[in-house]
Structure 1
Amino acid sequence: MISQLPDHLICHILSLLSTKEAVKTSVLSTRWRQLWLWLPSLELKSRDFSDFNNFMSFGYRFFDSNRVSCKHKLKLTIHRNEDGVKDAYYLTPWLKAAVKHKIQHLHVHSYSYADHRFHKMPQRLYTCHTLVCLKLFQVTLDDAGFVFLPKLKTMHLEYVKFPNEATFETLVLCCPVLEDLKIFVANDDGKVFRVHSLSLKRLTFERVSSFFSDSAGVVIDAPRLCFLKINDNVSKRFIVDSLDSNTILDMSLVFGLEEVDKTNWDEFDDGAVLGEFDESIVSPMRSSISDFLSGISRVSDMSICARTFKSFQWLPNFLESFPNLKSLSLVCIAKNVYDDYINEINFSSSSVPECLLSSLEFVEIIAPIYYAAVVELINYLLKNEFFVDI
């Protein structure tokens, strides 16, 4: 009975199966032999094949440029191969065919190693007018010439290599309806990442590395931003254009002071207190920190990691920059000696932050209760007649 259905209905049924199961139906009869090739979506993993050459042969069959069916979703997971195939030349015709056939969702995950080059995405990708969602992992992007992605709403770029700063900036600028952007920066990437978007609503930026760069920075100009998460222990410069009061902010920043701290850690014992840095090193960073606080001062919902206090110095003084704050989450889980910043928070400030007296409605503390500073923080909040959720 199913075989009597028209092709497009059978293809719809097959699209509800995994790619592996859909391909197996080709042995049912002559009627079914070619139907899987017309599927609108495909999830392809190189490890599902006996060798890499079989994986490529399968891909060439599916991405036949003469086939006119639309390809709505493509997810490629490419693992390191042991068959001597080091160049990703096969990806160019595959992705060009996907763009030609009006791809809407494209995910490319390439698990590269030190002895393998990252797979390069074709420039044709920059002008895919049907693309709605783009997720790339460990690939290289070509130098951006002309870019126009008029329907792209979601873009996740994890450990992607950019030839220059202008390529990333142009890529974001030329997505007029982009709403969700996620960036995980490679360990050795010290670029300035500039995010300029009139449509962006959610932004996640992560740059965590043991390598430090004086040139690394972040610039954010997105007036419609509703959610911003930054986890960065490398960048020393942050410029954020005024966030709206409804923006949810989640941050873990050190403004480059972690590098200074690790360099001089042996000079202090375990009781080292906040602020024992060389003033000549810290002073140039004060204006950068001040400008950043000015840009985020209107937010009312914020989650911050304890390591951030190493940069902001004292929690009460930090909270004075947020007169409209309504909800605050403090994450103070120490993983090693460098993350044990909760013991260094200073509550000696004589003035009480305005938000604590007026706007703040909820405080959540995620921390081991045995830290003396946690108890001191709770006492500080209770002293100022504030309810605490622990």
Structure 2
Amino acid sequence: MDKINELTDDLLVKILSFVPATVAVSTSILSKRWEFLWMWVPKLEYIDYNDMTVANRSRSSYLDFINKNMSLRRAPIIESLLLGFYIRSLQPEDLKVWLGIAVSRCVRELSINYSSCSEEPDLVLPTSLYTCKSLVTLELEGRDVLVDMMFLLRFVSLP
């Protein structure tokens, strides 16, 4: 028996939390034991700044992957969510849905790096994010992320 199979499921989930979501999901084909482990990973990382990479695997299929992946998560708490995109076909509405899921799963750390083409609409953070009691770290990057300063001043849990 190989050493990795001697590890507990909790430890395997911890290990999977250090790789991007696409890699974690791909481990589901390794064996029956690994089939659903990725669903319990509490750290989510969806990063793709290279438009060419996305074009090769289809922009819409990557966004579909994220939509399905986020909704299939079973971890009751999202420890961290990292979203980094420069995708022409990404709509702010997609990000609002993902942030809504994150808030409903008591996200603790959130990092968003969003840059769109000039003709794309800006990302306006949903008000549910400003009242999220579990959020302790918020990092925003990109010229296209709009923050409501009145809400930001009343942020519930940020230090």
TM-score category, normalised to shorter length: 0.7 to 0.9
Tell me the residue number matched to 2:15.
Answer: 13
Tell me the residue number matched to 1:161.
Answer: 146
Q: CA 1:128–1:160 in structure 2 vs 1: closer, same or farther (change >3 Å)?
A: same
Deviation at 1:4, TM superposition (A): 4.6
Residue 57 (structure 1) aligned with residue 38 (structure 2): no
2 CA distance for matches of 1:2 and 1:173? 46
Pairwise CA RMSD: 2.6
Tell me the residue number matched to 1:92.
Answer: 96
* Amino acid corresponding to residue 60 of structure 2 in structure 1: N
Between structures 1 and 2, the one with greater strand share: 1
Within the candidate set 97, 101, 106, 1:102 is matched to 106
Is 2:20–2:45's contact at 8 Å kept on the other side of the alignment?
Answer: yes
Instruction: Note the residue ranges of structure 2 that are not aligned, 5 or more in a row.
Output: none
Deviation at 1:107, TM superposition (A): 0.8
1:127-184 CA distances to partner (integer Å, 9 max, x unpaired)?
Answer: 111111111223xxxxxxxxxxxxxxxxxxx66434xxxx414412445762xxxxxx
Deviation at 1:16, TM superposition (A): 2.9
Corresponding pairs, count: 152
Q: CA 1:126–1:173 in structure 2 vs 1: closer, same or farther (change >3 Å)?
A: closer
Q: SS of the counterpart of 2:113?
A: strand
Deviation at 1:116, TM superposition (A): 1.1
* Amino acid corresponding to residue 13 of structure 1 in structure 2: I
Deviation at 1:56, TM superposition (A): 1.5
Deviation at 1:86, TM superposition (A): 5.6
Is 1:110–1:118's contact at 8 Å kept on the other side of the alignment?
Answer: no
1 CA distance for matches of 2:65 and 2:73? 16
Tell me the residue number matched to 1:133.
Answer: 137
* Amino acid corresponding to residue 58 of structure 2 in structure 1: D
Q: Which has the higher contact order (CA 8 A, sep 6+)?
A: 2
Deviation at 1:12, TM superposition (A): 0.7
Deviation at 1:71, TM superposition (A): 1.1
Tell me the residue number matched to 2:27.
Answer: 25
Is 1:86–1:117's contact at 8 Å kept on the other side of the alignment?
Answer: no
Residue 77 (structure 1) aligned with residue 81 (structure 2): no
Identity %: 28
Q: Normalization by structure 1: what TM-score?
A: 0.35
Query: Which has more radius of gyration?
Result: 1
2 CA distance for matches of 1:87 and 1:24? 26
2 CA distance for matches of 1:160 and 1:94? 15
